Amino acid sequence: MALVKCTECGNDVSTKAGACPRCGAPQADTTATPPLAAQNVAPTGPVTAAKKPSPVPGCLILIALVCGGIAAVRSCYGPTPPPSPPPRAERQPTSAPARASLNSQEQPECRINMTGSSKDVPVFPTEEGLKDYIDAYIRGGEEAAAMAFRANRGFMVPTRTRCYRVDPGVLRTKVRILEGEQSGATGWLPTEFTTL
């Protein structure tokens, strides 16, 4: 127990007394420890400045809000469909009388020619038949190609046979045979087997 001076009369008052016994003036709570600065005592540990709040949580919240906003907008409009391919032009089949009336100025005359070979060239009545033949040759070799040739009613035309290009294409060309056993017949063959 310590004694302090009364703020009113200057009498010695116990720190545990609530009021001065002489004048009755209430005493301040003297049981509490005064701050270190008031006691002129240096702090014993390191003095640290008040920490600033980190900006990271705020940034994370902002990013979450932006992502949520984007998701909300996308859900309103639905998923973006893939771009549709441009419409393909339909091939108009040429009738037999129309094919016969075409002259060499309208259809370039060409020759069936398998470069580097004197063999006959397979020709097919349908474009699908030619595709089947090529696929069979790639997958199963000559035996599979021979079976596809028979199944698709292919016919052989000698190399250097004259023909017209009825429906020229990049990979496949439809021709009308002008000479030989198959004269007048039309069929499909790889474009590389036709030369002007």
Q: Is 172 or 117 the better-scoring residue by pLDDT?
A: 172
Do 108 and 191 fall within a single domain? yes
Q: Is 108 or 3 the better-scoring residue by pLDDT?
A: 3
**Is 152 contained in some domain?**
yes
**Is 163 contained in some domain?**
yes
Do 188 and 108 fall within a single domain? yes
For residue range 11-21, what is the model confidence (pLDDT) as tens digits? 888 888 888 88
Residue pair 13/20 in contact (Cβ under 8 Å)? The answer is yes
**Is 123 contained in some domain?**
yes
Cα end-to-end span (Å), the chain: 125
What percentage of residues in the chain have a pLDDT greater than 90? 4
In this prediction, residues 130-144 reach a mean pLDDT of: 89
Question: What is the domain count for the chain?
Answer: 2
**Is 38 contained in some domain?**
no
List, in sequence order, the alpha helices (H) in the chain. 36-39, 56-77, 96-101, 127-151
Residue located via tokens 């090529």 = 134
Residue pair 111/195 in contact (Cβ under 8 Å)? The answer is yes
For residue range 113-128, what is the model confidence (pLDDT) as tens digits? 776 666 788 899 999 9
For residue range 63-104, what is the model confidence (pLDDT) as tens digits? 888 888 777 766 666 555 556 665 655 545 544 444 444 444
Whether the per-residue pLDDT at 180 is higher than 60: the answer is: yes
Provide the 10 A C-beta neighbour count for residue 107.
Answer: 18
Cα separation of 26 and 6, whole Å? 9
**Is 68 contained in some domain?**
no
Averaged confidence pLDDT in the chain: 75
| Interstrand relation of 194-195 and 109-112 (parallel, antiparallel or unpaired) | antiparallel
**In which domain, by residue range, is 186 found?**
101-195
**Is 121 contained in some domain?**
yes
**Is 25 contained in some domain?**
yes
